[in-house]
Structures are given as C-alpha cells and as structure tokens.
C-alpha cells in the first residue's frame, strides 16, 4: 500500500526504508507480513521461534517508520506552521526537540518542523550499519535495545500528534481504519517487548485501553 505524496511531503519526508532482498531480515519481514495477514495482531508481534530478538525488533522498527512516514504523509498539508505552531498531543502534552548531538538543549518548534527533525533523525539511525546491521554475521551493538526504545518512543509522538490534532482530517480522507490498525500493531509490539514506558504513552492511554481491551490475553 502506498500513497502519492504531494510536492511538500516529498521534500520533507524521507524515502521509504527498504530491507535488502536476500537477507535474513528480509525473510523475517516476509514472515511478519504473512502473520499480520492473519488478522491476529497479538500473534503477529510475537518473536518467531528460534529468532534473534534484536533482529526482530530492528525489522519491525523499520516497518513502523515506513508506516508512520506514509500516514503522516497523507496529512502534511493540514499540519503547518500556522495550524500547529507547537508539537503537541492535546493540551497537556508538548514536545521539544533535542537529539543529544547537534541539538543538545531541547528547542520549541512547530509540529511539522519537529516531525521533520524526528523522521530525519530516525532515518539516519536506520541507515547506520553500526546500529542497524543488515549484513549477516554483523552483530548488533550492545546498547541496541535502548537505541530502539528511543526511536519507538519518538515515533509514538507522531501517532499522538496525528490522533490529537488531525483525526478529523484522517477520517475525512478515509484513513481511519488504516491509522487504527497501524497504531494497534505498534502498541501490541511495544507492549510485547516492554519498549516504551507507560508514562510516555499517557497522551493516548484511553485509546490504547480501548484498542487493546478487545484482544486482551
């Protein structure tokens, strides 16, 4: 499934991140796609038997980046400096950008700028072979889980912004089911492997409770 982005989003949004064919991660991605097709999201996120947890987390992180990239790409025209001068997820939650390297002190910026910084930063992490090795036999760094946790925590903020500030546009575009399925998949995945702290999920806790209640274990 792909969306045709307008000119603005093709400038501000990163190209889709592809996992190289012929690699073990590519096979894992195909497995993930097949289990997702079964419709049982709880089952789809579980670590396949005999597989490496880091590889499974890496493949799914790339997939969530691509999904969020597409979902946000459909509403970029509604998310502007004027409509969203701050990066928020409702009145109680505001996010300031810092990546710890080039921007050490958190800066206040508009939602489109924040999300552009965020997606560029994630893309750079995913493209770094020392962090996300795609070649067989190249080990993951020892701190891989904490790297993945930071990426997923930040990707969650894009979902939170879309739900709080742009849900009516999503409904208008007929993307509601796609957004809900993507977010539910994301939540089941981070819950399965305890990848995001509960306090970080607070802006969408009510929605999370609703989406996950139907498929309680």
In DSSP terms, which residues pair with 94 in a beta bridge? Answer: 88
CA distances from 117 to 40, 79, 95, 108, 138 (A): 34, 14, 12, 12, 29
Binding site for Zn(2+): residue ranges? Answer: 79, 84, 161, 166
- List binding-site positions: 79, 84, 161, 166
- Torsion from C-alpha of 198, 201, 203, 209, nearest 10 degrees: -80
Q: What sign does the dihedral 156-75-132-106 (CA atoms) show?
A: negative
Q: 105 phi and psi, to 5 degrees?
A: -95, 120
Residue 148, number of CB atoms within 10 A of its CB = 22
- For 48, the token pair is 């396949």
């Amino acid at each position: 499934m792909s969306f045709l982005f307008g000119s603005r989003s093709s400038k501000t949004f990163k190209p889709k991140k592809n996992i190289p064919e012929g690699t073990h991660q590519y096979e894992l991605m195909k497995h993930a796609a097949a289990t997702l097709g079964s419709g049982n999201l709880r089952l789809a996120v579980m670590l396949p038997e005999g597989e490496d947890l880091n590889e499974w987390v890496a493949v799914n992180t790339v997939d969530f980046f691509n999904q969020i990239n597409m979902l946000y790409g459909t509403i970029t025209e509604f998310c502007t400096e004027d409509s969203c001068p701050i990066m928020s997820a409702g009145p109680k939650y505001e996010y300031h950008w810092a990546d710890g390297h080039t921007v050490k002190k958190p800066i206040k910026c508009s939602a489109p700028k924040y999300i552009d910084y965020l997606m560029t930063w994630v893309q750079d992490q995913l493209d770094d072979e020392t962090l996300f090795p795609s070649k067989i036999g190249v080990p993951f760094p020892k701190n891989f889980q904490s790297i993945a946790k930071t990426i997923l925590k930040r990707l969650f903020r894009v979902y939170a912004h879309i739900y709080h500030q742009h849900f009516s546009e999503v409904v208008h575009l007929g993307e509601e089911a796609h957004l809900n399925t993507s977010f539910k998949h994301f939540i089941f995945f981070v819950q399965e492997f305890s990848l995001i702290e509960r306090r970080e999920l607070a802006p969408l806790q009510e929605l999370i409770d609703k989406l996950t209640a139907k498929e309680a274990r």
